Amino acid sequence: MTKRPNELTIEEVARALRAREFSVRELWDACAEAAQEKNPELNAYLELFEADDAAIAAAQKRIDENDSSLLCGIPLAIKDNILIEGKIASAASQMLSNYRATYDATVIQKLKAAGALFLGRTNMDEFALGGSTENSAFGPTRNPHDTSRVSGGTSGGSAAAVAAHLCIAALGTDTGGSVRNPASFCGVVGLKPTYGGVSRSGIIAAASSFDQVGPLAKTSEDARILYDAIHGHDPMDATSIPDGLYAPRAVGEKLRIGVLKTLVSKEGVDEDVRALFSATLEKLTTLGHTLVDIEIPEVDPALAAYYIINFAEVSTNLARFDGIRYGRAVRGDTLLDDYVRSRSEGFGPETRRRILLGTYVLSSGYIDAYYRKADTARGVLRQAFEKAFDTCDVIATPTMPTPAFKMGEKSDPLAMYLEDIFTVTANLTGMPAISVSMGSVEREGSKLPVGMHFTAPHQAENVLCALGAAVEKA
Amino acid sequence: MATIEEVKKLAALARIKIADEELEAFTREFDAILAYVGQLEKFDLPAGNAEMPPLRNVMREDGEPQTPRSFTEKIAAQFPAREGDALSVKQIISHD
């Protein structure tokens, strides 16, 4: 049976559009119809946009004139914390449910210039705080492989939309694993670029020293195509970096894959996930890559350090939402009432929790014990990773310690945080990382995908995408 | 150990109200999280760098100004209350 247009990859669609196998309009309709049909069950999209006839016609014209942009005419799903001018951007929060973006994020400007189309805005954990998309103010996103399970998060809507073919590819954001975690749970590819590699102008901030925009796609090659289109220095983002800021390291065809054995053998990592991880590494050695056992004991405090910095930055960033200028505005008797009522009604439970934790770790009596110590641990970790890359080209772990869990299973917030053990290191070090599906494990009759995670030195995204493609073929 | 009173104080500082019936569970979870991240103390880390990192100007150069008023209406349309192009807020300084 031939695949429907919405089931294809960016590469396949770009070729088919140029071979006149279908038009941009037919492609849009296939994606939009699939989204309308499946979204009531999955809740991947918070809003499906009307077709933009002018943009569809313009994309078709460019293709008819043999434009080389691979993203021309490609319908994409965009996470709800990325601004598209004139559209609501709510970060899945009641606080911003009425907020209409006044400008395009830089990544959106770049995608529009490439001729891409936008199907809708996707569900997420409120303000990108969580790991399952259960913290959305508008209901969780369900996993397309088993709707009793979570999609992962925080970019769960984007990952589910890609996995269920409700779009060709999507953008998410990654603060502690928010692109890679749902990529693992939904069986798609998720790339977290080097910190500063992609502009964050027009992205609703969560934790600013970690946040990066990243692609979610059906293949590693598609992820690379999207990354190529959105990355680059931007004067509108003071943290963005030019290409070539970090000296490239010589990498051969055959890679030295560093394996964090001690970390992977820790309690809490699912046995089936571990077995699949070992089997996948084994396959990579048959392709000529070599495995190197590495130890980075500095990883042990990483999760604690990550959360301290996350709380601190979240509480600082979310201080701007006060009910005065935009967003939810509840009025009381006094100005203080206005602030308190707007914030208490606007923020959900996890967001409130992190704001309070951030207020605590930054308070004068505790800042040395928590925030400054976490910052030191982060510096030490980064040095240790840089040193580890003297003996290997990439570092491998599973993306998540478990396959997708059941809705409501991790109601204890700390249990949810512990799922991030493998992903937060890339955010702490600023290094790029990818999750690519390494197969699936069976749970109660459902085949649940599981991701392989690779980290590379700063700005070595090309190595990650090439290795991801090798895993797909292995 | 955080107490309910401390959580209430933090909430007041953060301009957030935690409902009374939520306070106990909230404080318990808050404490568990603090105990977890507090493990950082056990790790032998180099003494924190007390010096601040060198300051550098992260602002871009002025230039290419926007056309005046090109964003005024879009931004003002988001105001919860407006008078013309101005954001209307509660009076906070009394004339008495």
- DSSP assignment of A52-86, as one string? -HHHHHHHHHHHHTT---TTTT-EEEEETTB--TT
Interatomic CA distance for residues A98 and A368, integer angstroms: 39
Asked if residue A447 is part of any domain, the answer here is no
Range of the domain at B21: 4-42
Interatomic CA distance for residues A5 and A445, integer angstroms: 29
Total beta-carbon pairs less than 8 A apart between chain A and chain B: 129
Asked if residue A50 is part of any domain, the answer here is yes
Asked if residue B21 is part of any domain, the answer here is yes
Q: How close, in Å, is residue A410 to chain B by CA atoms?
A: 13
Full 3-state SS string of B16-69:
CCCCHHHHHHHHHHHHHHHHHHHHHHHCCCCCCCCCCCCCCCCCCCCCCCCCCC
Q: Mean pLDDT, chain B, as a whole number?
A: 88
Asked if residue B22 is part of any domain, the answer here is yes
Residues from chain A that touch B74, judged by Cβ atoms under 8 A, are 102-103
Asked if residue A196 is part of any domain, the answer here is yes
Asked if residue B67 is part of any domain, the answer here is no
For residue A101 the two structure tokens come to 């973006």
Q: Do A326 and B15 touch (CB under 8 A)?
A: no
Q: Do A308 and B75 touch (CB under 8 A)?
A: no
Asked if residue B87 is part of any domain, the answer here is no
pLDDT of residue B62: 83
B63-71: long-range contacts, CB 8 A cutoff, minimum separation 24: B71/A102, B71/A103
Q: Do B30 and A334 touch (CB under 8 A)?
A: no
Asked if residue A138 is part of any domain, the answer here is yes
Asked if residue B78 is part of any domain, the answer here is no
Interatomic CA distance for residues A380 and A452, integer angstroms: 25
Range of the domain at A174: 5-230
> pLDDT tens-digit profile of B16-31?
999 999 999 999 999 9
Total count of domains within chain B: 1
Which residue on chain B is closest to A303 by alpha carbon? B37
Asked if residue A115 is part of any domain, the answer here is yes
Asked if residue A256 is part of any domain, the answer here is no
Q: Would you list the DSSP string of A143-180?
A: ETTEEEEE--SSSHHHHHHHHTTSSSEEEEEESSSTTH
Strands (E), A128-278: 142-143, 146-150, 169-174, 189-192, 212-217, 256-260
Q: How close, in Å, is residue B66 to chain A by CA atoms?
A: 13
Q: How close, in Å, is residue A201 to chain B by CA atoms?
A: 13
Asked if residue B15 is part of any domain, the answer here is yes
Asked if residue A53 is part of any domain, the answer here is yes
pLDDT per residue as tens, chain A (474 positions): 689 999 999 999 999 999 999 999 999 999 999 999 999 999 999 999 999 999 999 999 999 999 999 999 999 999 999 999 999 999 999 999 999 999 999 999 999 999 999 999 999 999 999 999 999 999 999 999 999 999 999 999 999 999 999 999 999 999 999 999 999 999 999 999 999 999 999 999 999 999 999 999 999 999 999 999 999 999 999 999 999 999 988 888 899 999 999 999 998 999 999 999 999 999 999 999 999 999 999 999 999 999 999 999 999 999 999 999 999 999 999 999 999 999 999 999 999 999 999 999 999 889 888 999 999 999 999 999 999 999 999 999 999 999 999 999 999 999 999 999 999 999 999 999 999 999 999 999 999 999 999 999 999 999 999 999 999 998
Residue among B16, B45, B58 whose CB faces A355 most closely: B16
Asked if residue B96 is part of any domain, the answer here is no
Residues from chain A that touch B65, judged by Cβ atoms under 8 A, are none
For A164, residues 6+ apart whose C-beta sits below 8 A from its C-beta are A34, A38, A42, A44, A144
Total count of domains within chain A: 1
Asked if residue A79 is part of any domain, the answer here is yes
Question: Domain with A87 in it: what CATH number?
Answer: 3.90.1300.10
Asked if residue B95 is part of any domain, the answer here is no
ipTM above 0.85, yes or no: yes
